Structure 1
Amino acid sequence: MNSEICNTVEEILEAHRIGQFERLKNPPHWQGNPKATGLPCNDTMHATTHEIPDCISRALKVAPIPKNMNPTLHYGRRLDRCRNIERIYGNSSYTWYTDAAITSTGGIAAICAHNPIQQRTITASVWTSSPIEAEEAAIALAIISGQQDSRMNIVSDSQNACRQWARGRIGKTAHRLAIGYKSNNPIKIIWAPGHETLEGNQQAHAWARASLPRADSPQAEFPVPVMPTYSEILS
């Protein structure tokens, strides 16, 4: 008798539903008309996306995001990734850390690009209520801030933002910043677990929160939780 533990029909159907949701959310299916796909549109999604400028697209590489990085279930794996990122990129003057924070009332986000070795920190305010769009814009801010360097390593703690850059389509806020890029030097985006032990990431996080309007406080939950993949649900 086979005693293997199998997923229930309900679990398989739910995993399939989420997988389809993720597929339909992205280009070419998601083209500014959420009603066409029957999917809800909220502030965590883009109503419209734009193609990354060609000069960036040709130079851009997004490192693969590892699986099984749940903050609760895989804490040790997250710490190991932070240590590896620190070891490989931490002492490079080409490494930028990015983060964003949104006001508790929404509508305004503070974005930050931080380079600890060069001792450069660039912050800006953008009009958006979408955490994903704000994180994308923070990456774009780092790209245009470090374009005089021979290459760039950009570390972000937003899986959603990294995936959008990898897909080649970003929100309007990030796109407006990205069109200011005038170089062709290599750009690499690396995902790092947020709120762990990576010092550069913690510094960027602190700068972003400190850059919000004084009358406002940052949202309690940021960034947006990442929807698990089909295989992660069934594992």
Structure 2
Amino acid sequence: MPYNLPTIRVNWVRMKSPLSVLWWQSVGHTHTSFATGVFLDELFEKAGKDAVQGRLDLLSSEAGRDRAVLERVAKMAGWDGERIKGDRGYGVALHENFGTYVAQIAEVSDARGFPRVLKVWITVDCVVAVNPNVIRAQIEGAVGYGLGTALFNEPTLREDDEVAQKSFDTYRMLRIHEMPEVEVAIINRVADPTDIGEPATPPIAPAVANVWRALTGQVVRRHPFVTAGA
């Protein structure tokens, strides 16, 4: 994490599963960005601090690239500290992985008790933008992938430990009409380029979870949201 935290403790618990567990899009960053991004936002809320400014205030002096993407995405989305505007809520997340820095702000509404993500503003710093169109395409795809996983994706097991879902008719994924509008800004710098294939996936889940808590009061601390009480 890029934050100056005077007191911090991190631990983990091994989970036993009948399934063989491997990595997925962005490897472990999806889990760590969700845990840290949601927890930090809860602390800001309890302290009465703005979610964007609170992050900026905690950033270390070495976290210039984190600061740049966060300030840029806040400007893009017109962030003014109001988490709720009418029937829509707004949440933010910031994460670096594979040398690439990404900040996201999600606009979400309550669709009969479940999050409906309407738009996502994203700023990315992957250093030199060799092909901006490819960067935007990768980011849009990563948002769809990460959002579908956060909201719906979950294999379940039968009593014989076989996976119940055999194809996409029973394995819920993000549908075309559920894909939000995605607006991307690229910070271009002169240096060796970093990864763009996966970095936009981790921030979307905490951004939406943070909105949902502000919008409904429901705290979401696991995936998928559909079985987590959202």
Q: TM-score, normalised by structure 1?
A: 0.30
- Structure number with bigger Rg: 1
